[in-house]
Amino acid sequence: MKNSLPVAKRLMDIATPPEDMHLASALLTTYDPPDADVLLDKYLPLWLGMQRRPSEGTDVAFLAERARFLKEARKTIAIFHSHGTLAGHPWLWSQYVRPFPTAPNCRQHAKLWMLHWQPETKSRKTLKR
């Protein structure tokens, strides 16, 4: 039986953290080099348990909260992708998310998202405030 939900909706359902859990680590694969804007605006706020979501324009409170959560999650997310240039936000790739490109003559075809969730700790609950 084919799933009738759009792919984006299914990915969001899969990627939604279980109740009282936080992202301990993630391994993702993608054919194209990952899109930093999609990660920063759509998936990382959800995975990191942020209270705020991006809004139109520059939302200083959102950016400050994202910086705090990214600092805690530093280097816990790895993305394997086909060879190519990582676009936008070089600070994301150099400090927080570990990209692993294939060799120039190879392509990454499998699509895999492995998200490791752990129970919330008291210190993590304080970070959310």
User: Using one digit for the tens of pLDDT, what is the confidence trace for 18-76?
Assistant: 888 888 899 999 888 888 888 888 888 888 888 777 775 567 888 888 888 888 888 88
pLDDT of 1 above 50: no
Question: For 24, which DSSP code?
Answer: E
Q: How confident is the model at residue 127 (pLDDT cuts 50, 70, 90)?
A: low
> 92 and 43 in contact (C-beta within 8 Å)?
no
Q: How confident is the model at residue 98 (pLDDT cuts 50, 70, 90)?
A: very high
- Tokens 């405030």 belong to residue: 129
Q: What is the mean pLDDT of the chain?
A: 80
Please give the sequence-ordered ranges of beta strands (E in DSSP) within 12-129, or none if there are none.
21-30, 77-81, 97-101, 113-119
- Tokens 């953290």 belong to residue: 17
The string of pLDDT tens digits covering residues 2-20 is 555 555 555 666 678 888 8
Q: Domain limits of the chain?
A: 26-103+114-128
Q: What is the model's pLDDT at position 30? A: 87
Question: Would you call 46 exposed, middle or buried from its count of C-beta atoms within 10 A (0-12, 13-18, 19+)?
Answer: middle
Q: How confident is the model at residue 78 (pLDDT cuts 50, 70, 90)?
A: very high
Q: What backbone torsions phi and psi does residue 126 show, to the nearest 5 degrees?
A: -65, -40
Residue 59 and residue 111: Cα distance in Å, rounded? 32
For the chain, how big is the Rg over CA atoms in Å? 15
